[in-house]
Chains A and B, each alone.
Chain A
Amino acid sequence: MSAKRTAASPLESLAADLVSGRIRVVDLTQTLAPEFPQIALPPEFGQCWPFRIEEVSRYDERGPAWYWNNFSCGEHTGTHFDAPIHWVSGRDLPNNATDTVPVQHLIGAACVIDCSAQASADPDFLLTTDHVLRWETVHGRIPARAWVLMRTDWSKRTDPVAYQNYDETGQHTPGPATDVVRFLIDERDVTGFGSEAIGTDAGQGYHLKPPYPCHYFMHGSGRYGLQCLTNLDQLPPTGAVIFCAPLKIKNGSGSPIRALALVPGSSAGAAQPSRRLRGKV
């Protein structure tokens, strides 16, 4: 009995560290709100619903003692998860939908590559293999089955106009180049790729080869995507663990998520609430 007490299991340690604050939880999620922008396609295509909420009752004649809402949104609204079935390249893979992806994949180590300076200088910044190799010289090799998160501080653009960043040639947001997507899959065996902008691919990703390479190759090889993440500036380059489980939608292509990260308590400031994008009034 005494032998059992001396060596706490890793999970018991984890629970204790969460209580003591030695491990902190960081919210990587944007607030689901009607004013948060959604991805826009040419109007002749089908569209992803924005987040909408309708009051069912609020202690009134529609329900005297209770308050509740109905909400609607697309699978790809707000901070969300992309399953392999989302893209045509991943359509025939096994276990490729939100209800069948192995749950073991939904919790994992995160490698955070800071591209905030480059994205600030160039909204069309593309992350390349060279950038990743340079990052590895400082932080070590990306381990197998890790998540790679591209920190751009794009989530700090709280004005939806700046966040979407449209001009007459379309959207201008940072993302990965084609070569780095192949590299992360073939050479580093990542679980998935996450970004702060509206998509995992760059705003001008349509013009890359193939169009939208992160979607095409990640999903084509059974990997996942996370987008509209926030608070990546609160994560260490290595050492964080993220939780990004989608809703268990039958044959779903993705889902809004409450993305959370566990970080060492001593290495970052206090967790802050997610910033909410606000409409121009």
Chain B
Amino acid sequence: MKAKELTDQYLHSGHGCCPGCAMTIVLRTAFQALGSQTVAVITAGCFGTISGTFPVSPIKLASYNTTFPSAGAAGSGVRAALDIKGDFKTTVLAIAGDGGTFDIGIQALSAAAERNDDYIFICYDNEAYMNTGIQRSSATPWGAWTTTTPPANLKSQPKKDIVQIMVAHRIPYVATVSIAYPEDFIRKIKKAKETRGFKFIYAFSPCPVGWRFPSEQTIRLARLAVQAKVFPLYEVENGERYTLNVEPEGIPINEYLKPQGRFAYLKEGDWERIQENIDREWKRLMNRIENQMI
């Protein structure tokens, strides 16, 4: 499947998402790659609250909204119900934002991964609580402005490494995906669908409102994140087999940071510090790929 073949077949217009929202592109891509034989489990967060209003739904898949912390548990419940009825061909897809994955949802997510329940968990990471109005989460990067990390007190901790946390569960499949690389994205979703056990798909989701950039720049930001090594595209099988899928150009970090208003309050030396962190993380990833171990 090519990027231009992506349609709104399973996610129509009529949702309340902001112009330039990456999450809708993430989910449209995931839905289309999976097809109609899918049950979606949705938690609170951007998608849960603005994905439509009764009695109409823009989602053309059987879908179930659950509470903020419970994507991991609800995904397991739907899978078990389908299995006991003998339906092994329907895919279950649990959908959560960074809050529902990194923070309030991590307990149920970790438990489902540990049980290796057979479904796909996709996280759209827009790096803060965007639906409630841009509050920091543990996915917010160091130095970013949010409404709870104001200019005088910018986020002073690094982003939680959710991929390594999920890899440490030794689940069959962990992959990072980007809307700027749709063919890679679609291939990974299809691979997850064919893999038995727990699959974690981690999608980068630039947010024009929360990151303070023009809404037509969403895909560009997603591409810059990959090329600047902020969001490497890779996959990990069974907790140990690492594969890098896109070789980044390694553009300087300021090319990625500069278009975003949330990084406007960085002080002298901060960009260098961020660049050093990126380079260190990249080296770590390269070591894992070369040594093929955690």
A binds B: no
Q: List A residues at the B interface (Cβ < 8 Å).
A: none
Q: List B residues at the A interface (Cβ < 8 Å).
A: none
